């Protein structure tokens, strides 16, 4: 059902458009179809196409006959294919070619009441402009190929700084707590590897100093014993 609607609309347009552009020509203009008119001059500058109409307006003494080329040249209306005498005849042009008309009243054709109308094909139907197409999206850009240049090696990480050996200052308001002496490392072959200057023992006393001390002690003892006695 939906597919037949566009076809029907198109057929209707093809039927109406020629009718819109069709032209009705009044033969002889205001003078009409009568004697004493040069209809060859009247044809000059006019274009007749299929779908146009010729209108003949005439009096009671005239009529219109459609004849062939031979009847037109000899002013003979006996072989007419169509004849009209209503005083206002409208003839539609339906075929391409030359159509010949004359007035069959004796003497009228010889006085110039004859007309040969060249008919061209109907005017071309104006094309319907197509709707503008939507803009196409640009094609996607190609992927970037991987770079062949190797990336520089990352810089080595800097070694962690050793922990500071400097003791932090004591907090104000708290007494300084003496640190316990560090234990001496075990001795290898009876000799310690390293000794801190704080924990090393004092040097042994000199032998002469030991002798003086012994004599002093003995003297003091004797003095005390003599005093007591």
- Give CA angle at 204 (200, 210), nearest 5°: 155
Which residues are paired to 99 by β-bridges? 117
Could you confirm whether domain 4-120 is CATH 3.20.20.300? no
Instruction: From first to last of the 229 residues of the chain, give the pLDDT tens digit.
Output: 455 655 555 555 555 444 457 899 999 999 999 999 999 999 999 999 999 999 999 999 999 999 999 999 999 999 999 999 999 999 999 999 999 999 999 999 999 999 999 999 997 766 666 666 655 666 666 666 655 555 555 555 555 555 554 555 555 554 455 555 554 555 444 444 444 445 555 555 555 555 656 666 677 777 777 676 6
- pTM given for the model: 0.49
Contact 214, 199 (CB under 8 A): no
DSSP 8-state secondary structure symbol assigned to residue 185: P
Give the start-to-end residue ranges of the domains of the chain: 4-120
């Amino acid at each position: 059902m939906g597919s037949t609607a566009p076809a029907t609309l198109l057929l209707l347009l093809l039927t109406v458009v020629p009718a819109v552009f069709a032209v009705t020509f009044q033969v002889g203009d205001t003078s009409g179809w009568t004697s004493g008119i040069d209809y060859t001059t009247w044809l000059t500058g006019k274009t007749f196409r299929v779908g146009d109409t010729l209108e003949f307006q005439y009096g009671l003494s005239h009529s219109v006959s459609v004849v062939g080329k031979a009847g037109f040249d000899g002013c003979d209306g006996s072989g007419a294919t169509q004849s009209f005498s209503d005083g206002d005849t409208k003839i539609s042009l339906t075929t391409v070619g030359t159509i010949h008309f004359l007035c069959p009243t004796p003497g009228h054709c010889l006085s110039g009441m004859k007309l040969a109308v060249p008919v061209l094909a109907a005017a071309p139907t104006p094309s319907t402009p197509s709707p503008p197409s939507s803009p196409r999206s640009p094609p996607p850009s190609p992927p970037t190929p991987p770079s062949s240049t190797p990336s520089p090696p990352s810089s080595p990480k800097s070694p962690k700084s050793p922990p500071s050996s400097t003791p932090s200052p004591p907090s104000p308001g708290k007494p300084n707590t003496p640190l316990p002496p560090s234990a001496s490392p075990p001795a290898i072959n009876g000799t310690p590897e390293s000794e801190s200057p704080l924990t090393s023992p004092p040097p042994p006393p000199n032998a002469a100093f030991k002798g003086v001390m012994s004599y002093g002690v003995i003297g003091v003892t004797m003095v005390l014993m003599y005093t007591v006695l």
